[in-house]
Structure formats: C-alpha cells, structure tokens
Structure 1
C-alpha cells in the first residue's frame, strides 16, 4: 500500500514538474526570440542611419598640396 502511494506520488510529481518546466522553457524561448528579433531590427535601423550619415560627410581629398 505504501509503495503504491509512493509510486503514484512520484509519477504525479514527475508529470507536474515536466509540465511546469515545459511551459517555463517555452515562455523563456519565446522571450528570447522576441528579444533577438527586436535587437536585429534596432541594429538594422542604426546601420541605416549610420550609412545615411556617412553619405552626408564630406570626403577629404588624398592629394597633398606643396
């Protein structure tokens, strides 16, 4: 009787732990994907702005005057 209760408790505890860890892992994975996507978009926007600023800067000439 005691072994049967211990077995059912172990199975129930194990399945509850597995379900909770699955939901936590999925939530963390989605958060990581969202953060990665956001950072990629922001770096692309920053790269675009820097490229636009580089086109506006005057380029110094390489010839030297003597």
Structure 2
C-alpha cells in the first residue's frame, strides 16, 4: 500500500518538528555537560543545522534505496 501525498507531508513535517525539539533538548543537556556555554539563540540555530543535516541524510538514503528497489 502506498502512502498518500498528504500523509507523506504530515510524516515529513512531524519528522522536522520532532527532530528539532530532540536536537534542542539534547543540546541543553549535552553542551553544559561537556563545558560548552551556548546562548539560547545560538542553541536554536545549532539545532536547526542538525535537523537540516538529518533531513538531507534521510532524503538521500531514501532515494538511494528507492533506486535500488524493484
């Protein structure tokens, strides 16, 4: 069964939001634990960069696997 375009969009949007929140929350814990003091604005920007890299990775891997399929 294939996924509708609307459901694909919902999945992608959910992935972005969850990824961003997870990256931000992880940084709030990990950065101080390793002695990095980062302001809130910079922390938000770093989280966005991590999410962008993660989305690009996921997309490229998905396309790679799709091209290898039947």
Give TM-score, length-normalised by structure 2. 0.45
Q: Which has the higher contact order (CA 8 A, sep 6+)?
A: 2
